[in-house]
């Protein structure tokens, strides 16, 4: 058997494969962050094509090879990342949870990070000072405080000067107490909207001039609950849904400035947003004290106290591994072609698909089974008992 190609078509296959190999090596050298993706999605089609040439002949092999190259090129067109360079990113809510982990992660990759914290002397801020590089700057930033937002803008603009700010990650958020919508005080609805929506809008508006200079990225950390209705999350879901819609509108409006906008809808992750046991006790006590007498009678104190049991079980259903969210945020910040919506985490995309593409009755039935609780309000238990006795 000849070692060299014996026909023009085989020579063509060999030439294309060599050219492809040189391209792969160049891409790996330019994009070290994406080295694994490049090697897998570029080398695999090449090997497949050569195998097909050997087994099926040059004609069929070339067709399979070209098809593989096309698919891998489309995939890598989405996966390709820009170099970090000296890109500067502002992250709100960096005291704990996703914001804290993201600040550390981006700092380790070489970003210039501005970490906005609710308490610049708190344990989260101290840990960032201790573990991160000198590139990271801490900002006292309560996003519901217009004065602090403006002061943060002045500090950031002074440091980035003419280069602009590459990215803003609106991560700060609160959960409130998960409870039936009827039970939640109006204060909870207002607090969720103030932090999760109005605060993010305020930060976005203030920092957009810096994003225009760099033609950078606006990333809004929404939630799976911002895309689908979930029982007991009325206040939180409404505020996150508002943030998601804001992201969609901004994505359209800011495209003419070269600014790309993304919303991230994580599923359940263990971030500490649900609060502590002492905070739950205080919130449930306030909730019970402020309920109308008729409502308290219908629900029953045992049902209301059972809300704490529900809160205690939330972390058990959440993942402690934040890497899917961090990867989504990095892609939103650096991808040449970022997605408009990211759904990291177990079940996030599945729930959204069921809500969008299945009948609502099926979605409601599905959610009722997935999030069912044993306890019922007192009035419903009484009604069931009376029905059984008839």
pLDDT at 95: 95
Mean pLDDT of the chain: 83
CB 107 within 8 A of CB 132: yes
In which element (H, E) is residue 84 found?
none
Q: Where are the domains of the chain?
A: 8-79, 88-370
Strand blocks (E) in 224-353: 260-264, 341-342
| Highest mean pLDDT out of 46-50, 65-69, 243-247, 342-346 | 243-247
The count of C-alpha atoms lying within 13 angstroms of the C-alpha of 350, restricted to the half-sphere facing its C-beta, is: 7
* pLDDT (average), residues 263-274: 82
- Catalytic residue positions, numbered: 236
pLDDT of 331 strictly over 70? yes
Convert the pLDDT of each residue in 93-134 to its tens digit.
999 999 999 999 999 999 999 999 999 999 999 999 999 999
pLDDT of 10 strictly over 90? no
State the alpha helices, DSSP H only, in 193-233. Answer: 200-214
pLDDT at 48: 64
Convert the pLDDT of each residue in 174-206 to its tens digit.
988 888 899 998 999 999 999 999 999 999 999
pLDDT at 65: 61
Convert the pLDDT of each residue in 133-150 to its tens digit.
999 999 999 999 999 999
Higher local confidence (pLDDT), 355 or 275: 355
pLDDT at 125: 96
Convert the pLDDT of each residue in 19-53 to its tens digit.
666 665 555 444 444 444 555 555 666 666 666 66
In which element (H, E) is residue 140 found?
strand 137-140
Confirm or reject CATH 3.65.10.10 for domain 88-370, answering yes or no: no
pLDDT at 129: 96
């Amino acid at each position: 058997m000849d070692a060299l190609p014996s026909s023009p078509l085989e020579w063509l296959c060999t030439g294309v494969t060599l050219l492809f190999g040189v391209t792969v090596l160049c891409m790996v050298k330019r994009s070290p962050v994406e080295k694994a993706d490049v090697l897998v999605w570029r080398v695999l089609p090449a090997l497949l094509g050569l195998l097909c040439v050997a087994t099926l002949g040059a004609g069929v092999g070339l067709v399979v090879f070209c098809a593989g190259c096309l698919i891998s090129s489309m995939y890598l067109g989405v996966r390709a990342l820009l170099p970090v360079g000296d890109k500067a990113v502002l992250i709100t809510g960096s005291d704990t949870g996703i914001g804290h982990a993201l600040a550390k992660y981006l700092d380790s990759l070489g970003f210039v990070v501005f970490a906005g914290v609710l308490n610049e002397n708190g344990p989260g801020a101290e840990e960032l000072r201790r573990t991160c590089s000198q590139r990271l700057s801490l900002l006292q930033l309560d996003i519901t405080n217009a004065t602090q937002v403006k002061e943060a803008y002045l500090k950031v603009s002074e440091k980035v000067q003419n280069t602009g700010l590459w990215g803003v990650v609106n991560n700060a958020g609160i959960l409130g107490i998960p409870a039936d919508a009827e039970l939640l005080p109006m204060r909870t609805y207002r607090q969720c909207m103030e932090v999760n929506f109005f605060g993010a809008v305020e930060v976005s508006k203030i920092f957009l001039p810096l994003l225009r200079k760099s033609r950078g990225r606006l990333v809004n950390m929404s939630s799976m609950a911002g895309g689908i209705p979930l029982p007991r999350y009325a206040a939180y879901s409404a505020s996150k849904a508002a943030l998601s819609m804001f992201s969609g509108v901004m994505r359209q409006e800011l495209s003419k400035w070269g600014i790309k906008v993304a919303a991230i809808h994580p599923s359940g992750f263990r971030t500490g947003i649900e609060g502590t046991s002492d905070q739950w006790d205080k919130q449930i006590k306030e909730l019970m004290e402020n309920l109308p007498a008729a409502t308290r009678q219908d629900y029953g104190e045992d049902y209301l106290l059972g809300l704490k049991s529900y809160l205690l079980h939330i972390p058990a259903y959440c993942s402690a591994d934040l890497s899917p969210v961090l990867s989504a945020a990095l892609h939103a910040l650096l991808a040449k072609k970022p997605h408009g919506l990211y759904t990291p985490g177990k079940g996030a995309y599945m729930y959204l698909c069921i809500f969008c593409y299945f009948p609502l009755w099926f979605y409601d039935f599905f959610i009722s089974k997935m999030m069912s609780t044993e306890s019922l309000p007192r009035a419903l238990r009484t009604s069931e008992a009376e029905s059984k006795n008839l």
